Amino acid sequence: MFRARSIQSSLSIKDKFLSLDYLLIFSIFILGLVSILAMYSTDGGEFKYHTKSHILRFFIFFGMFLVLSFIQIRFWHSQSYLIYILCFILLLGVKYFGLTSSGSKRWLDLYFMNLQPSELMKIGLILFLAKYYHRISIENINQIRFLFLPIVVLIAPLILVATQPDLGTALLIAAGGLTVAWLAGVRVKFFAFSGLAFLALLPIAISFLKPYQKSRILTFLNPERDPLGAGYQIIQSKIAIGSGGLFGKGFLQGSQSYLDYLPEKHTDFIFTLFSEEFGFFGSLFILFLYAIIVWRIVKIGNLTRSSFGKLYCYSFATAFFIYVVVNMMMVLGLLPIVGSPLPIMSYGGSSMMAIMLGLGIVMSCKVYKDTPVN
Amino acid sequence: MLSPSSGNTVIKSKLIGRRMFLLTAAKTVVLVGIVGRLVSLQINERKKYKTLSDKNRFREWKLAPERGVIKDFFDKEIASNEQVYQVHLIPENSKDIEKLFVRLKTILNITDKKLFFLKKIIAKQKPWEPIIVSDNITWSEFSRLNLFLHELEGVKPVVSVARTYPDNSSAHILGYVSQVSAKDLQTKTYLKELHVPGMSIGKTGLERKLDQEIIGKIGFQRYEVNAFGKRIKQIQVNEGQAGKSFKTTLDFEVQKFTSELLKDKAAAVCVMDVYNGDIISLVSSPTFEPNEFVHGLDKKYWNSLLKDKMRPLTNKTISGLYPPGSTIKTLVALSALENGVIKPLDTFRCKGKIELYGEKFHCWEKEGHGIVNLRKGIQRSCDVYFYEVARKLGVDRLYETAKKFGLGKKVLSGFIEERAGVVPNTKWKKKFIGQNWYLGETLHSGIGQGYFQSTPLQLCLMTAQIANGGFEIKPRILFDKKNNNLRDYIKYKNENPNEPLPTDLLISNFELKPLFKNQEHINLIKDAMFSSSNEPGGTSYRHRWENKKFTFAGKTGSSQIKRFTEAQREAEVKQESLPYKDRDHALFVAYAPYDDPKYAISVLVEHGGSGGKAAAPIAKKVIKKVLERHDLRQRVNSLIGETI
C-alpha cells in the first residue's frame, strides 16, 4: 500500500504530460479534422448547423478527453459501479421521459443537448465488468454463481435499449460486455451455451421486432428486393462508394450526397460520403487512422499493470473496433442497416461524448499505468 | 496477502493477453475483409457504379424543334408556324391549387370537365413537373392572365410555336399535324430519335410524307436532378434545329380559287404542267379545317367529319377511285392506232346499240351517231364506235397502253393515302376474281366502265402526256429546279427532228421517254379532243373558250354507278331525277391552250351526272385562272434559273 502511494505521488505534472500517448492524441485530432471536412461537405460546402455544431462538440469533448486523462485510474475503478448505475438510471429515464423521434424513444432532453444514454451505457457496462472481473479471483470466474451478476448487468440495459427500439446500439453494448467477459477468461462453453439460448429465443425475439426491422434484415439479404424502399439506402450507398473510384470525385463533389441520394449522410453514412469524395485511398486513410487508434489503445493495455486497466483497455479497443467495422460493413452492404454511428466521424453528441470519455479513461490508464487501482 | 494476489494478477494478465491475441487475429481478418470489399467496389466495379451514379444524377428534357414551313411556288407559306399563347402550371409553386383553379376560371375559359382532367394529371405526376393548362389561348386572355399574374402563384404564361394553316383549300394535299399517338410510336421508326412528348407530327398528306425532315433536330436540356427528381442546375443545352422548309409546285391562288368553285360539291380538281409534271393545283372537296387538329380535335367536329356522306377527310384526287368512263376513249383510240387495229378514217355505223351473244350494248345516244370515224367517235364520245374498236383491240393491248400512260399505279411517292386503281386485263381477272375474261367485259373496258378504276390525278397525268406530244413525265409536288427546260427540248425536237441537240439542252440530265410508236397518232388524238371541245356536236362544245389564249381541248366522261335498266332506258330517265347516290360521276379532262399546250386538268364531280354538264364548266374556269397566272409563273421560273 505504501509503495503504491509513493509511486503515485512521485508523478510530477511534467511526468504526467510526458506519459501521454501523443500518437493516439494526434490520430484522434486528425480524425476529428477529417470529420469536420466531411460534415462541411454534408452541409453542401457551407458552414451550416451540422458543421458548426459538430466542430463545437468535437473540440469540447476533445478537451474533455485531455482533462480526463489526468484523472487517476483509481477514481474510475472506484466509481465504475456508480457510473454503470447512473447510466442505467438515465436509460430508465428515457423510458419514462424520453424524446421520441422517427418512431423510437432514445433521447433525454437536457436543455443544452439531447443526451442518448444508450451511448454512455457502452462505456458504463465495460467499466462495470472490468471492475467486476478485476475483483474476483481467477478460480471463481467460471463459477456459476459469479456468472449471475454479469448476466444481469448485461441483459438489463439490453432490454431497455432494444425496446426503445434501438437494436443496433443494444447489440453494440452487448458486444462490449461480452468482450470483457471473454477477456477475463469466461469459458468458451458459456458463450456457446448462451449462443444456443439466444438462437432458441430468436423466433420469439423476431416476433417482437418492428416491421421495419424485419424488412431491414430481409433487405440486407437481398437489397434489390425493394430498390425504392428498404433496399434504397444500401443500393445508393454502394453506388456512392463504388463511383468514388480510386481517387474519389473530389472534395464537395460527391453528387450522390449533395443531390440527396444518400440517406442519413450526417450520421450513419458519413463514411460513404467521405469515400465517394476521396475514393479508395481516402477510405484506406480513414481505416489507417482507426487502426492506429485501436493499436495504441491495445498498446496502453499492454503497458498497464492492473487487470482492471488491461481489461478496460482491451475491451474498449475491441468495442471501438467493432463500432467502426460494423458501421463500415453496414454502408458497404456487408451487414444489415442497424443504425450505428461511426466513432468520432458521425454527427451526434452522445456518441462523441461516450467515445471521448472512453478514450479519456484509456489515457488515464496510460498516465497511471504503474499505479495499482486498490 | 500480497504475493497470492500479485500471482493471481500475473496469471490473469497472461490469460487476458492470450485471449486478446485471439481477438486481434479476428480483427485483422475483419479488416482485410473490409479492404477487400473496398477494392471490389471502388476498383473492380468502379465503372459500373460510376454509370449508376450518373444515371441518378442527370436527366434530360427534350425540346421540340420548330417544324419547317411549306410554301407554294410563289413562296407563300401554306403551312406555317404561329406564336401560340399557353398557360403552364407548376403545382408545387402554388399554395392552394383549388383556389387557384377557381381564380383561373374567372380569367380563362376552362370547362369543369377540363378542370377534372387537369386535377387527375396533377395527382399523377410530381408536384414540380409543369402541366399545360391550356395550349392555345387568345391574345386577350393571355394579356388578362399577365395582368393578374401576381395573384396566380405557380402559373406560367408561355409563348410557344404551333402549326397553322392560312386556308383550308389545300388541307388534303398538305395533310395535318396532330399529337403523336401510341400507334405512331410503334410504326414510325424515325420517331424513336425524334419524339418529344407533346410534339405534333404529320398524319396525312405532305405533312406526313415530309415528317422526317420537316420536324427538325430535337434539342435537349440536361439537368442535374436530386433524389426527389427536382432540377438542381442546368448542365447542358442544345437548342436543336428547326425543321427543313419545303417549297412546293402548288399555286396557292389557284388552290383557293378552285376550292371556292367546288364548294358544296363532292369533287376533285388536278392541274399539272404538261412538260415537267409540276402539280399546280390539287383540290378535293368538301374540305376540312386542318387547324382544328393542331390543338386536340373536338370530338363533335371529328364525328361530323366521319359521318359526312361527301367524305371530307378523303383526298379524292389521289385516294378516290372512279371508273374513268369516256375519258379513257382517248387511250383506247391511241392504243388501236398504235397497234394498227384501225385507221383514222375507218368507220363504224352507230345505231344506238349493238348486240353481242344476245347481250345488248347501248350507246349513250339512243338514236345513234350514224357513220362514225375516229375523230367523230371522240368528238361525240360514241360508245358503239369504241365497242367496235375495243373488240378489235382486245383488253390486253389496251392494258399495255393504259399502264404506259400512268393508269393503275401510284403516280406520286410517299403518300400513304394514295391508291393505285385498276387497269384490268385477262390475267388480272384470273388472279383477283378467279374467272375467265368475257368479250363483253372488253366492250365495257373500251368505254372505261367495268373493272376500270382510276384516280383524278392519274387521268390528269394521262391527259398531260398526250398534250405534251406523248412523252413520259413524272408528276411532282415538291419544287425541283431540274427539268425546267423539258418544254424547250420537246419543242426543239418537234421542230428539228433530225438535228443534234444544242448544248444548253444537253446539259440538263433528264430522260426523255416517248410513249408512242408514231407521234402522228398522238396528234390525231389531240385533234379529236379539240373537236370535242370546240366544234359543234362536241360533248363539251357549250363550255368552250372562244379566246384563243384559253382554248382547250378536252374529253368528257361519266362513270356509271348503277347500270341503267331497260325500263329506265325506255323511259329516258334523266340523271337529275335519280337519287343522289345513284347518279353518275361527272368527269372531264383537258389541256390548254390547244395550240401550245401548257397545262392539263382533270375534274371530277361525284354524282354530278354527265361530264359535259357538271365537270366541263369547272374546268373552263380553272383553265382560265391557271393560264392567266402562267406568265407570272414563268417569270418566277426564270428568276430561279438566274439565281442558280
**Does residue B422 surpass a pLDDT of 60?**
yes
Residue A210: strand, helix, or coil: coil
Of A259, A280, A334, the CB nearest to B232: A259
- Using 50, 70 and 90 to split pLDDT, how confident is the model at B402? very high
CA gap B284, B174 in Å, rounded: 11
Pick the residue from chain B with its C-alpha nearest to A309: B13
| Contact between A307 and B224 using a beta-carbon 8 Å cutoff | no
Give per-residue pLDDT as tens, B121-173: 888 877 777 788 887 888 888 888 888 888 888 888 878 888 999 999 999 99
Phi and psi (nearest 5°) for B460? -65, -40
Name every chain A residue with its beta carbon within 8 A of the beta carbon of B42.
Answer: 241-242, 244-246, 275, 279-280, 283
The type of residue at B475 is P
Q: Spell out the long-range contacts of A55-64 with Cβ–Cβ below 8 A and sequence spacing 24 or more.
A: A57/A349, A57/A352, A57/A353, A58/A32, A58/A344, A58/A352, A61/A349, A61/A352, A61/A353, A61/A355, A61/A356, A62/A28, A62/A29, A62/A32, A62/A356, A64/A353, A64/A356, A64/A357, A64/A360
Report pLDDT for A53.
Answer: 93
Mutate: best of A129, A180, A183, A331, partner B, most B CBs <10 A:
A183
* % of chain B exceeding 90 in pLDDT: 53
Which residues on chain A are in Cβ contact (under 8 Å) with B226? 259-261
Q: Does A259 sit within 8 Å of B56, measured CB to CB?
A: yes
pLDDT at B572: 76
Q: Cα–chain-centroid distance for residue A52?
A: 22
Look at the block and give the residue holding cell 362536241. B538
Neighbours of B644 (CB within 10 A): 7
State the Cα torsion B501-B505-B510-B512 to the nearest 10°: -40
Task: Look at residue B61 in the predicted model and tell me its pLDDT.
Answer: 75
* Cell digits of residue A77: 475503478
Type of residue numbered A325: V
Q: Peptide bond preceding B475: is omega within 30 degrees of 0, i.e. cis?
A: no
Distance, in Å, from the CA atom of B313 to the CA atom of B203, rounded to the nearest integer, reads: 12
Give the closest-approach CA distance of A242 to chain B in angstroms: 4
- Which helix H or strand E contains B315, and what residues bound it? none
Q: What is the mean pLDDT of residues B18-46?
A: 94
Look at A53-62, B7-16, B276-285, B529-538 and tell me which has the smallest mean pLDDT: B7-16
Confidence of residue B239 (pLDDT cuts 50, 70, 90): confident
Count of C-beta atoms within a 10 Å radius of residue B513: 11
**Higher pLDDT residue, B103 or B491?**
B103
User: Which residues does chain B have within 8 Å of residue A311's beta carbon, measured at their own beta carbons?
Assistant: 16
State how far Cα B229 lies from the chain centre.
42
Instruction: For residue B74, give the 3-state DSSP assignment.
Output: coil
- Say if the Cβ atoms of A244 and B27 lie within 8 Å: no
**Cell triple for residue B474?**
413524272
C-alpha cell at B442: 372488253
Domains of chain B: 61-247 (3.90.1310.10), 252-643 (3.40.710.10)
Chain B residue numbers touching A238 (CB-CB < 8 A): 41, 49
pLDDT in tens, B277-326: 899 999 998 999 999 888 877 889 999 999 998 999 999 999 999 999 99
Chosen for mutation from B11, B18, B39, B49 (greatest number of chain A CBs closer than 10 Å) is B49
- The C-alpha cell at B229 is 427528381
Cβ <8 Å between B227 and A239: no
CA angle centred on B615, ends B614 and B620, rounded to 5°: 115
Q: What is the mean pLDDT of residues B76-100?
A: 86
Question: How do the domains of chain A map onto residue ranges?
Answer: 2-367
In DSSP notation, A135-167 reads HS-TTTTT-HHHHHHHHHHHHHHHHHHHTTT-H
Q: How does residue A220 score in pLDDT terms, banded at 50, 70 and 90?
A: low
- pLDDT reported for residue B6: 59
Look at residues A81, A328, A230 and name the one whose alpha carbon lies nearest to residue B35.
A328
Strands of the sheet containing B553-559, edge to edge, are: B279-285, B267-273, B599-605, B585-592, B553-559
Query: Which residue, among B380, B360, B361, has the nearest Cα to B370 in the 3D structure?
Result: B380
Q: Which residues of B touch A245 (CB under 8 A)?
A: 42-43, 46, 50
pLDDT of residue B485: 61
Q: Which of A260, A275, A283 sits opposite B226 (nearest CB)?
A: A260
Question: The cell 457510473 sits on which residue?
Answer: A83
Number of other CB atoms surrounding residue A193 within 10 Å: 11
Hey, are the CB atoms on B34 and A280 less than 8 Å from each other?
Answer: no
Q: How many CA atoms lie within 13 A of B565 on its CB side?
A: 5
CA separation for the pair B327, B533 (Å, rounded) = 13
CB atoms inside a 10 Å sphere around CB B297: 16
* Residue B555 reports pLDDT greater than 50: yes
Alpha-carbon radius of gyration of chain A = 21
Q: H/E element holding A49?
A: helix A49-68
What Cα–Cα distance (Å) separates residue B93 from each residue in B59, B141, B225, B349, B642? 21, 22, 18, 89, 58
How far apart are the C-alpha atoms of A96 and A119, rounded to whole Å?
18
| Residue A301 pLDDT exceeds 50 | yes
Is there a contact between B20 and A298 if contact means CB atoms under 8 Å apart? yes
Cβ atoms of B529 and B553 closer than 8 Å: yes
The neighbouring-strand residues paired with B348 are B372
Q: What is the pLDDT of residues B433-491, one digit of tens each?
A: 899 999 999 999 999 999 999 999 999 999 999 998 888 888 999 988 775 566 677 67
Give CA–CA dist A346/A267, Å, rounded.
Answer: 5
pLDDT for B588-622, tens place per residue? 999 999 988 999 999 999 998 888 889 999 999 99
Chain B CB within 8 Å of residue A241 CB: yes
Cα distance between residue B31 and residue A238, in whole Å:
18
What angle in degrees, to the nearest 10, is found between the helix axes of A144-162 and A117-135? 180
- Quick check: A283 contacting B, CB < 8 Å? yes
Question: Nearest chain A Cα to B224, which residue?
Answer: A259
Point out the least confidently predicted range of A202-211, A324-333, B107-116, B390-399: A202-211
